[in-house]
Amino acid sequence: NYLKIFSPATVANVSCGFDSLGFAVDTIGDEMTFTKTQEKGVKITNITGANLTYDVDKNAASAVVKKMLEDANADFGVALTIHKGFSPGSGLGSSAASAAGAAFGTNKLLNNVFSNLELTKFAMFGEKVACGSAIADNVAAAIYGGFVLVRSYEPLEIIKLPVPNELRAVAIHPQIEVKTKDAREVLPSKIDLNDAVTQWANVGGLISGLYTNNYQLISNSLVDIIVEPHRKKLIPFFDNVKNSALKADALGAGISGSGPTIFALCKGDEIANKVHQSIKETYKETGIDFEMYISKVN
Ligand code: HSE
């Protein structure tokens, strides 16, 4: 009747895979508790770590719980607590962690009636409540874990991809907020065919690299010529961070989701530590506050 869960932060897009690739990390995330109540419906009893609404129809987590209880015709209600482990507007899938955690936890109380695909759809509803668009890349990564591909939105199809053993993620979160909505508005609605060819070839290369543990291929494919050139303007010193990561032997670096967090993928702990150090020194000089994370892809 009581459940405590961890819901991970996620890196969406992963350079070439705009709105279709994502991975989960294991060191950053939210903690949520679920308590069954006799009274039907959902209420939020406590939120810590961020200033979020207690309005159950507007909060990404409670909106998901409410919808699932209704759809499953549950004869009980849920009291929810949310502890945010990282900030909204970071580009690390904050609303997705809330929405996916809510879906996962509620499903446990419902004796796992819903599949992971159905949970992803519920969590997408939470994303829509939080930021206006039902994007699947963050929520699918949080629910399935590891690396995922959103192969299709209509109908929704999620492919869980393998994660090479030594893959590590380093992330830097400059302490500014970029709203997903704003970061989507700077994108072009049409793209050049040659650019599209480059981009989808890189997606194929990245996925092939994940399946074959080919770090060089992963590195060659972590390129984004379509979204990054437009969005990097919203992120102070993006190029400095990227160059600093690459100089320290990162496989690649790019914008995490819609930013401002910048991620770097690395092979092994040693290089991840070196990349962490290099980015840290680079960003210290900017005078902008930041937080950094180092994590497995999990
Ligand atoms: N794929 C999304 C974007 C992630 O880049 O806008 C943020 O929800």
Q: Cα-flanking dihedrals φ and ψ of residue 42, to 5°? A: -125, 145
Cα 217 to Cα 213: distance, rounded to the nearest angstrom? 9
Contact 137 CB / ligand 1 (< 6 Å): yes
Contact 107 CB / ligand 1 (< 6 Å): no
- Which of 10, 180, 261, 282 does the annotation list as catalytic? 180
* Mutation probe of ligand 1 site: the residue of 14, 18, 131 with most atoms within 8 A of C-beta: 18
Please tell me the predicted confidence (pLDDT) of residue 132.
Answer: 86
pLDDT in tens, the chain (298 residues): 999 999 999 999 999 999 999 999 999 999 999 999 999 999 999 999 999 999 999 999 999 999 999 999 999 999 999 999 998 889 999 999 999 999 999 999 999 999 999 999 999 999 999 988 899 999 999 999 999 999 999 999 999 999 999 999 999 999 999 988 899 999 999 999 999 999 999 999 999 999 999 999 999 999 999 999 999 999 999 999 999 999 999 999 999 999 999 999 999 999 999 999 999 999 999 999 999 999 999 9
**Taking a C-beta distance cutoff of 8 angstroms, is the pair 7, 49 a contact?**
no
Across-strand partners of 157? 152
Q: Is 180 a catalytic residue?
A: yes
**CA angle centred on 137, ends 135 and 138, rounded to 5°:** 95
Please tell me the predicted confidence (pLDDT) of residue 202.
Answer: 98
**Taking a C-beta distance cutoff of 8 angstroms, is the pair 11, 169 a contact?**
yes
Sheet containing strand 262-267, edge to edge, reads: 252-255, 262-267, 167-174, 290-296
Residue 162 is given by DSSP the state P
- Which of 10, 106, 120, 127 does the annotation list as catalytic? 127
In 72-192, alpha helices (H): 94-109, 116-131, 137-144, 180-185
**Taking a C-beta distance cutoff of 8 angstroms, is the pair 41, 70 a contact?**
no
Tokens of 136: 């699947």
Q: Is 127 a catalytic residue?
A: yes
Contact 120 CB / ligand 1 (< 6 Å): no
Angle in degrees, 0-180, between the axes of helices 137-144 and 116-131, rounded to the nearest 10: 140
Tokens of 92: 């690390």
Q: Residue 88, preceding bond cis, omega within 30 degrees?
A: no
**13 CA to centre of ligand 1 in angstroms:** 7
Please tell me the predicted confidence (pLDDT) of residue 185.
Answer: 94
**211 CA to centre of ligand 1 in angstroms:** 24
- Secondary element (H or E) of residue 258: none
Contact 15 CB / ligand 1 (< 6 Å): no
Please tell me the predicted confidence (pLDDT) of residue 181.
Answer: 87
Contacts of 193 (CB under 8 A, 6+ apart): none
**72 CA to centre of ligand 1 in angstroms:** 29
**129 CA to centre of ligand 1 in angstroms:** 15
Q: Residue 155, preceding bond cis, omega within 30 degrees?
A: yes
Tokens of 142: 């949080």
**E strand map for the chain:** 2-12, 21-37, 41-48, 77-83, 147-152, 157-161, 167-174, 252-255, 262-267, 290-296
The span from the first CA to the last CA of the chain, in angstroms, equals 28
Please tell me the predicted confidence (pLDDT) of residue 206.
Answer: 98
**141 CA to centre of ligand 1 in angstroms:** 12
